[in-house]
Amino acid sequence: MKFTTTLRVRYSETDQMGVVYHGNYFAWFEVGRVELLRSLGFSYQELEAQDDCILPVVEASCRYRRPARYDDLLTLATSVKALRGSIVVFTYKLYVGEVLLAEGETKHVVVDGALQQRRLPERHHAAILAILE
């Protein structure tokens, strides 16, 4: 399952060349994964506060194909590529219209508040497993 969300490029996200600063793509990827989890019926806040689960990024990549520019209306497609033990891998495709601007991936390790590796609670694990690409 791909979850899509829409973003508008703000002026503050662009650089001197008039294109989006490369680091902002990772902030958008975060929006995509947070909203994907919300669409499954739970939130990052719930994971942290109620379930003592934190999902730090341990690997991140982005392939920039074309630049995003100020005021572009972007569509971000987010999906879960893998769920193995305490590892979750998300993938991202960012478009303006039908044009692919960037592709990315983030790998996360599930840990508790003491930063000890753990598995997701079963209800969250099952929800994510059901939408694996």
Active site residue 52: no
The Cα 59–Cα 75 span in angstroms is 23
Token reading at 90: 């998300």
C-alpha pair distances (Å), 38 with each of 11, 28, 76, 111: 27, 15, 15, 19
CB atoms < 10 A from the CB of 9, how many?
19
- Could you say which of 15, 51, 71, 72 is catalytic? 15
- Active site (catalytic) residues: 15
